[in-house]
Structure 1
């Protein structure tokens, strides 16, 4: 075997090892993302980890992007999705059309309200207004200008959504983007 042939075989083996490593990394990343999308099982969290299933959802009052006041506790009797997002977040952009479709098709029949809380401390109000217009959003968009509500709800990764039952209790937390089927499934499990 010549040196040239040996060199070519060595290079081919190294390339194969690199490709295998990249494929494995992509598979691990994909599995990690899909498990994030399923939500966090709040039955398995402890009090030290923050909000848990069955806790009363912390009340808040915020002003929406169109200037109306919204208070979470006033929605008692409805199922509520509290979603935390920002205009610069690609997964949030992907999720919004699904939330709007769900809101248009099912929210009244299911007695559901969506509060898409914009983490305005990282966004400009004009950006939020443009986003709402561009995406044709009709559900309330409360503005968390101080970031306090997002902090209370521990919305570190966005989007993050809390599923709150008609009694005002947290039933689930979803970290990552949701599609319509996920929303339907989570809402169907609320009282």
Structure 2
């Protein structure tokens, strides 16, 4: 191969390599942009303090899943439409779940009397652990007892099985924020997050 041909081949290879790198960079940027899109939610500003792990995905309807109230009646998330709902998935065998429960009770107490707000604590306890779960919630008034005897709800939300997992639903029943792990739900940051959802009109 002559020198000129080798030069042309080298240039062509370099152009292809640069194009491949540029394409990969664009793919990575688009992928990263998807994450930034969810983070651009107006609620993302509340991911601070004990809520630093808060995720604010694009609004999606809560799953059409049946769980139970204290009397064993069927309950769906659709039953809470018209309310801002703080849904907490917990169990007595989950230490962080029990640690944060008093703060959820305090949050419920703070908004007590409002007909457009609810804290919905759903126990994953089954069999012999159920009486303990009922007693634990009874000690944390004004919280009400709800249960998922099939222990599937943690996998229906973005936390994908994590416990504790707290999900905030807007008045339309859409998932607006998710936090896995323990948090202080009586904090000013948590109240500001709830207030932001309560302030939304017609969503």
Displacement of 1:162 in angstroms is: 0.6
Distance in 2 of aligned mates of 1:84 and 1:73: 17
Residue 15 of structure 1 aligns with which residue?
none
Specify which of 71, 84, 90 is matched with residue 95 of structure 2.
90
Greater gyration radius: 2
Q: Does the 8 A contact of 2:137 with 2:143 survive in 1? A: no
Residue 83 of structure 2 aligns with which residue?
78
Kindly provide the CA deviation profile for residues 85-107 of structure 1, in whole angstroms up to 9, marking residues without a partner as x.
11122211111111111111214
In structure 1, runs of 5+ residues without a counterpart are: 1-33, 43-51
Q: Does the 8 A contact of 2:50 with 2:183 survive in 1? A: no
Q: How does 1:26-175 map to 2 (within 5 A)?
A: 37-42=51-56, 52-109=57-114, 111-121=116-126, 124-133=129-138, 135-153=139-157, 154-175=159-180
Distance in 1 of aligned mates of 2:128 and 2:102: 20
* Cα distance change, pair 110–39 in 1 and its aligned pair in 2 (3 A): farther
Find out whether 1:186 has 2:190 as its counterpart.
no
Q: Does the 8 A contact of 2:101 with 2:140 survive in 1? A: no
Distance in 2 of aligned mates of 1:80 and 1:141: 15
In structure 2, runs of 5+ residues without a counterpart are: 1-47
Distance in 1 of aligned mates of 2:63 and 2:149: 17
Aligned residue pairs, count: 148
* Cα distance change, pair 124–161 in 1 and its aligned pair in 2 (3 A): same
Displacement of 1:118 in angstroms is: 0.9
Q: Does the 8 A contact of 2:167 with 2:176 survive in 1? A: yes
With the length of structure 1 as denominator, give the TM-score of the two structures: 0.67
Matched residue SS, 2:111: helix
Q: Does the 8 A contact of 1:95 with 1:177 survive in 2? A: yes
Displacement of 1:186 in angstroms is: 2.1
With the length of structure 2 as denominator, give the TM-score of the two structures: 0.64
Distance in 2 of aligned mates of 1:144 and 1:123: 14
Matched residue SS, 2:113: helix
* Cα distance change, pair 36–100 in 1 and its aligned pair in 2 (3 A): closer
